[in-house]
Structure 1
Amino acid sequence: MQNIGIAITGSGSALPTTSLHNQELTHLVETSDEWITTRTGIQQRRIASSQDSLCKLATAASQQAIAAAGITAADIDLILLATSTPDDLFGTACKVQGELGAIKAVAFDLTAACSGFVFGLVTAAQYIRTGVYQNVLLIGADILSRWVDWQDRRTCVLFGDGAGAVVLQANQSDRLLGFTLKSDGTQNHYLNLSYNGAAQQLTPEISVTQGTYQPITMNGKEVYRFAVQKVPEVIDKTLFAANLTVDQIDWLVLHQANQRILNAVAERLNIPAHKVISNVANYGNTSAASIPIALDEAVQQGKIKPNDIIAASGFGAGLTWGAAIFQWGR
């Protein structure tokens, strides 16, 4: 059987119109613009309004990516939606499929928190490499503002909302040069959006829990330590598997969690600052959406060009982390 490669042929992104600046957060919690900027690099973030939905943002980003790839929604075989915040707990990918008119596509949600886009990229690649599907739409989208405690200054300053998407297509040469995925459930307690239920007695013998989810809780110090140690390791490992050196990387596109993490990872890998894509100042941490939004923005700005080698890495709840190295375009 002939080996089938993959190419990432189009990108798109969508963000809510409402911006929440650091100064406005000082009216909600005891903090300051200087404190937030110094520790995170974040100056503002986009917040979904009551009129916005995950489906709406994901669909808009997808339409751009499909157009950029030069295909139509009817050509899509598979839709993967990486999200932790679906509009519907049963999944939102099928609704996106309906909105797009992607009549022949199978669609499902994939959850790996802030690593979701990288995990989704690798998942999509397997379907193409095995010859099952030719055109895959991968979306990373999250509306974390729904699940933030706006009185918790450790978390409410960090998160924003948005969606990013790419189209992956079967290709003669394989543009996904290497990947590594990792999980460590023993550190799960450092970052959570946990179920919070109360017991309800159905009969004298049977009780069930009914409820919702508690807001995001995070041990920032431990997550920072984890990211700064594990992300350079996983990128190094992926470079080795791809038979590449750090010098051959044109762009480093990390999950946009915190500017200090971006700087520390680049420093450990000896990647110069001008190769690091960063938009965390404008959008904050958009979870699974952060890598594809940053990627699309850099493509639109003309920074990322065809054949450029990109090292992408996501890390977050689970705890999960991973890296993928790919060449842009066909």
Structure 2
Amino acid sequence: MTEADSRAPYRSRIAGAGRHLPVTHLTTDELMASTRHRTHIDLERLTGIHERRVSVGDEDSYTLATSAALDCLRRSGRPADTLDVVINCSISKCRKGFIHWIEPTMSIAVAGEIGATKAMTFDLSNACAGMLSGVTVLNNMIRQGVVERGLVVSGEYISQLGRNAARHVRNILSRELASLTLGDAGAALLLERAPERAGGIRLAGFTTLAGHSRLCVGYTVAGEPEARMFTKARAIHKAATAAIPPLLQEVLDTVGIGLGEVDHVITHQTSARAIRKGMAHVTAVLGDAPRHEAVISVDRYGNTASTTHTVALIDELAAGRIQPGETIALIALASGLEIGVVLFTADEQLLEQSWAPSPRTQP
């Protein structure tokens, strides 16, 4: 790993962010009341999740992604026809219900709908690390001068995994318990070539621990809508927690800062307890702590897979908790096992945008 500025002639910045949340709120109590078996599980106490947003059939991966992309363009003031590339990074690729579209790609459908007629398009899937993987790829394309501006987008219609799990979960040891934490969301990040002295992406680094790839798997099951997901939650949390400190330390050493110089940390939103426990381990191992506690948005939105970092980032921007020049670390934890860090400095282009709810984005 080498700091971005020393590897290529250009630097990229996050110049816009957008999201789209379904209208319907589903509380954890409502979801647990729908289980076929009496589980005696206090899921809200266990995970910290009070509610999540879910599609009731009126939205799908495509509409969520498209609405988030339009929201991002509106906030950033960037016309769609100035995009050089559109990268779709969703796990789910549902259109018109539970139909998965393989070809043509979701990225070309989204680009066509938003008017990005000049953009090259491709899909990139990397489980819950998808969007940050897309950011890493686009960041490198911009740094190398291949493109000047692009959009990383995702729409996750995954709440049906929770509805399927509600028919099978019997106790706290169920491998489908994690499916009950899921929510739906669309998200988009706009990256562009950064002008001199503007904030930008300082480094993006990933590693894969393929020996843990079977800890979380998802597949379709005959006779059931969409799919089911099976997770060894404790094992995957243990493996991820052990792997994060050395990767994060490598990132920090590369850019020449300590963890105490990072202002905000946004991790993948699995559960409030897991986030707090994981960050306590990181700070203990590194002997330092970020300036603010790790961001938690999972209590309001659930685990929205590849969109979680953007959903949480927009909450922080809307609340005015991020200031120009502050350093933000986005930490990806995904099935695979995939661990990644995107470290960037917030600049005024991002912070001066209006973060009031969009007419197309539910508050």
- Give your verdict on TM over 0.5: yes
Aligned to 2:65: 58
Once residues 298 and 16 of structure 1 are traced to their aligned partners in structure 2, the CA distance between those partners, rounded to angstroms, is 19
Once residues 258 and 195 of structure 2 are traced to their aligned partners in structure 1, the CA distance between those partners, rounded to angstroms, is 24
Aligned to 1:258: 271
Once residues 155 and 255 of structure 2 are traced to their aligned partners in structure 1, the CA distance between those partners, rounded to angstroms, is 28
Change (3 A) 1:36 1:195: closer
Amino acid at match of 1:133: V
Aligned to 1:203: none
Shift, 1:273, TM fit: 8.3
Q: Which moved more, 1:96-105 or 1:181-190?
A: 181-190
Aligned to 2:24: 18
CA contact (8 A) 1:177 1:325 kept: yes
Once residues 26 and 273 of structure 1 are traced to their aligned partners in structure 2, the CA distance between those partners, rounded to angstroms, is 36
2:42 is paired with a residue whose SS is helix
Unaligned runs of 5+ in 2: 1-6, 95-100, 170-176, 350-363
CA contact (8 A) 1:120 1:138 kept: yes
| Percentage of identical aligned residues | 22
More strand by share: 1
Residue 186 (structure 1) aligned with residue 211 (structure 2) = yes
Shift, 1:139, TM fit: 1.5
CA contact (8 A) 1:115 1:315 kept: yes
Change (3 A) 1:26 1:213: closer
Residue 70 (structure 1) aligned with residue 77 (structure 2) = yes
Aligned to 1:306: 324
Aligned to 1:248: 261
Amino acid at match of 1:125: N
1:39 is paired with a residue whose SS is helix
Once residues 179 and 240 of structure 1 are traced to their aligned partners in structure 2, the CA distance between those partners, rounded to angstroms, is 13
Residue 217 (structure 1) aligned with residue 230 (structure 2) = yes
Shift, 1:305, TM fit: 2.5
Match of 1:48 among 41, 52, 55: 55
Aligned to 2:188: 165
Unaligned runs of 5+ in 1: 199-210
Change (3 A) 1:322 1:152: farther
Change (3 A) 1:141 1:231: farther
Residue 113 (structure 1) aligned with residue 131 (structure 2) = no
Aligned to 1:236: 249
Once residues 222 and 246 of structure 2 are traced to their aligned partners in structure 1, the CA distance between those partners, rounded to angstroms, is 38
Change (3 A) 1:215 1:306: same
Cα deviation digits, residues 107-157 of structure 1 (max 9, x gap): 221111111122111111011011111111111331112344232441332
Shift, 1:76, TM fit: 0.7
Change (3 A) 1:245 1:152: farther
Change (3 A) 1:233 1:152: farther
Change (3 A) 1:193 1:84: same
Once residues 291 and 27 of structure 2 are traced to their aligned partners in structure 1, the CA distance between those partners, rounded to angstroms, is 25
Q: Which moved more, 1:76-85 or 1:23-32?
A: 23-32
Aligned to 1:175: 200
Shift, 1:185, TM fit: 2.1
Q: Which moved more, 1:34-43 or 1:255-264?
A: 34-43
Cα deviation digits, residues 91-113 of structure 1 (max 9, x gap): 31111111101111112211111
Q: Which moved more, 1:212-221 or 1:18-27?
A: 212-221
CA contact (8 A) 2:264 2:290 kept: no
1:156 is paired with a residue whose SS is helix
Q: Which moved more, 1:126-135 or 1:235-244?
A: 235-244
Q: How many residues align?
A: 317
